[in-house]
Amino acid sequence: MRETAMLNVEDLGKKLAEAGRLQLRPLCVYSTDEVPQGAVPSYTVDRCVAKAAYISALFKETPALYVEAEHEQCCAGGLVWMGLAEPHPKLKYFVTVGTPDFHGGAAEHLKATPELFDEQKERAGKITPHGKYTVIAPCTDEAAPEAVRAFILFAGAEQIRNLCGLAQFNNSDPFFRTIIPGGPVCATMIAFPAGMAENAPEESAFVGPVDPTGNPWLPPDLMIMGIPAALAQQMAADLEDSFIAKRGRIAYPENRIIIKPPSADPQKRK
């Protein structure tokens, strides 16, 4: 990654919004050992950290959110994937096939077996927050650019395609610059891009989520992109040289090609 001047958080958020033509405001993720002024616990917006972040992106009056280990009002699984709690010994059954002695045998069927859940958690590595409070906030100058760990974007399919292309613009790796990871929504948008998961690639953007438990509140035409801060800075620096700026009518076409069914007459297909 080439050396580029670091943008402040507000300007970087504007660049990402411009690149993705975002309708929802981008968010940033950082850690601190003191509650930021005006911030509120995420559970006061919603017990699901990921849903609270979506609400923040959707409604600009939402203040900065923070999560800490004592927030028992948060989703227990979310606290685990934020590195703020240890998983319940029977959690692996609840998210897979169920067991009669936990939640009445309820099961989410997210993995085929409990063993696969354990293996996935092990492959992700130890999840360690970078401070006492993990903060999800709007992109303003109140957050120091050197403190921000990641950015969260909510965007449609075409927007995500273009943002992935921008992430790949200045890199030759065809496979791992953009990744659709397994795991819950909060891991996709926070733990993985913010470098909290021990084995998460440091220079990859994470797209998803593949966790269907977010589908009741995440609109079907939206996806989430979690971007490590250094990669977000690079994307902003590359924007003017990339296809998004140089070939904007291709990236975001004003006129679409109408695809028609093929003719049954072989002569007309020539």
Burial of 221 (0-12, 13-18, 19+ CB in 10 A): exposed
**Which pLDDT score, from 0 to 100, does residue 1 have?**
44
Question: Would you say 179 and 167 are in contact if contact means Cβ atoms under 8 Å apart?
Answer: no
Q: Is the pLDDT of residue 203 over 80?
A: yes
| Of 195, 196, 193, 230, residue with least CA distance to 208 | 193
Average pLDDT, the chain: 93
pLDDT per residue as tens digits for the range 162-193: 999 999 999 999 999 999 999 999 999 999 99
Strand boundaries in 80-233, DSSP class E: 133-138, 148-155, 178-179, 205-208, 223-228
Q: Is the dihedral of CA 15, 6, 52, 117 positive or negative?
A: positive
Q: Which amino acid is at 103?
A: H
Query: How confident is residue 76, by pLDDT bands cut at 50, 70 and 90?
Result: confident
Three-class SS of residue 3? coil
Distance CA 101, CA 253 (A): 55
The pLDDT of 48-61, averaged and rounded, is 97
Residues 6+ apart with CB under 8 A from 24: 57, 58, 153, 154, 155
Would you say the pTM of this structure is higher than 0.75?
yes
